[in-house]
Amino acid sequence: MTIPTNSLFFGDNLPFLRNHDHFPPQSVDLIYLDPQFNSNQSFNVLYKEVEGTLSTAQVKAFEDTWTWDESAAKSLHELNNVIEYTPQPLVSMLNMLEGFLGHSPMYAYLVQMAVRIVELHRILKTTGSLFLHCDPTASHYLKLVLDAVFGPKMFRNEVIWYYRRWTAKSKRFQRMHDVILFYAKSQNQKINSTYIQPTAGQLLKHQRGWDRNTVPIDGVRKPQLIIYDNAKVENAIKDGRIRLADFARIVEAQTKLTTAPDVWEINFINSQAKERLGYPTQKPLELLERIISSASLPGDTILDPFCGCGTTIDAVEQLNKEKP
C-alpha cells in the first residue's frame, strides 16, 4: 500500500506511525521533525477571520510538558520487550540513561522520542534521510538516540542554523543558532549537492603560485599572485615558474562553485514578517526549502511527523510551483 498524496493525520503521531497500512516499511523518502522539549507551553492551531484578524477560536495542538507517567513507562516497556525491531544498542543506552537521569522530564522525553524514532527508521527508505531539528536543551541526548537507532556511521552532519535577532542582556553569550541532526538510512542515500559562490579569500588562495626555481634563505617560500595576462602566463610556463597543469587547475577553481557548508545563515522570522502565522515555534520557509531541495527528488514522499504550523507542507508546495 502506498501513502495517499497530500495526507494530513490529526492526533498523536505514534499510532499512525505504527499503522503498517498507513506507513508500510520503507515508504518515506525524507523525514523532517521539529519536536519541542519542556517549554511548559500549550501550542494552539490559530485561525484567522476573513479580515485577517486572529480569531478567538483555537484548537489545542499539543502541550510541550513532559513527565514520567504511565505512557512513558509503557513506551519504555515496549522498547525493551515488545517491539521486535528495536535496536539492541538503543535498549542498552536507554537503560544506562535511566540510571543517570532517573525518571525525570528529560528521560520521559527521550523515551517518547526513541519509540517514535524507531518507527521513523522503519518507514524510511534505504535511500532516505532524516533531519531532526533541536536546540541545545536536548540535542546531545537526541544524538545518542539517533546513533543507537541509525548507527553512528549514518550520521552525516550537525547543521547549524544561524540567525540574528534582538535579545535582552544576559550573563552568557546570546543564543543565535539551532541544531539540525542529519542522518541517512544507508550509504545509498539521495543527496543533491548544494553549492555556493567561493569567497574572495578562497579565490585568492587558488590564484597564488610558487616560484619553483628560487627558495629564500629562510627556507620559506613566499606565495606570489599570478596575473592572468596571456603573454605573462606563457612566459611563466616557459620559464618553469608555473606548470600548465597548475594553471589549468587554478582557472578551473575560479569557475567552480564550492560545496555549501554546514552553517546556514537564514533570517529568523521577525514579528512583522509576512509569513509569520503566530505559531510560537514557526521555522522560516527558506530553511525547509533548503532541506527538501538537498535530500529529495520530485515525486518523493516527505513526512513531518510533528507538523507544527505546516511549514514543511508549504515548502513542498512552493518548490512544486517552481517546477518548469
Do residues 247 and 266 both lie within one domain?
no
Angle at 254 between CA 252 and CA 255, to 5 degrees: 70
Do residues 95 and 206 both lie within one domain?
no
Do residues 232 and 280 both lie within one domain?
no
Phi, psi (5° rounding) for residue 179?
Answer: -115, 135
Q: What is the domain range of residue 285?
A: 13-192+261-321
Residue 183 lies in a domain: yes
Q: How far is it, in rounded angstroms, from Cα 187 to Cα 154?
A: 7
Q: How far is it, in rounded angstroms, from Cα 11 to Cα 308?
A: 12
pTM over 0.85: no
Do residues 70 and 124 both lie within one domain?
yes
Residue 7 lies in a domain: no
Do residues 94 and 227 both lie within one domain?
no
Q: How does pLDDT run across 24-69, given as a tens digit for each residue? A: 999 999 999 998 765 555 544 444 444 444 444 444 444 556 889 9
Establish how many alpha carbons lie within 13 A of residue 289's alpha carbon, considering only the half-sphere containing its beta carbon. 12
The count of domains in the chain is: 2
Q: How does pLDDT run across 145-167, given as a tens digit for each residue? A: 999 999 999 999 999 999 887 77
Q: Give the H/E segment covering residue 31.
A: strand 28-33
Q: What is the DSSP letter of 84?
A: T
* Separation in Å, CA 247 to CA 220, 240, 244: 22, 12, 5
Residue 1 lies in a domain: no
The proportion of the chain whose per-residue pLDDT surpasses 90, expressed as a percent, equals 42
Do residues 162 and 17 both lie within one domain?
yes
Strand 224-225 and strand 263-265: the pairing is unpaired
CATH number at residue 17: 3.40.50.150
Q: How far is it, in rounded angstroms, from Cα 99 to Cα 89?
A: 16
Residue that finishes a domain, picked among 235, 258, 281 = 258
Residue that finishes a domain, picked among 225, 258, 291 = 258
Residue that finishes a domain, picked among 211, 232, 258 = 258
Query: Is the pLDDT higher at 3 or at 302?
Result: 302
Residue 241 lies in a domain: yes
Do residues 81 and 184 both lie within one domain?
yes
Do residues 101 and 242 both lie within one domain?
no
Do residues 120 and 159 both lie within one domain?
yes
Provide the residue type at 316 as one letter: V
Do residues 201 and 173 both lie within one domain?
no
Strand 258-259 and strand 224-225: the pairing is unpaired
Do residues 244 and 288 both lie within one domain?
no
Residue 155 lies in a domain: yes
Place of cell 569567497: 199
Do residues 103 and 233 both lie within one domain?
no
Q: How far is it, in rounded angstroms, from Cα 197 to Cα 189?
A: 25
- DSSP result, 95-118: HHHHHHH-S-HHHHHHHHHHHHHH
Query: Is the pLDDT higher at 321 or at 33?
Result: 33
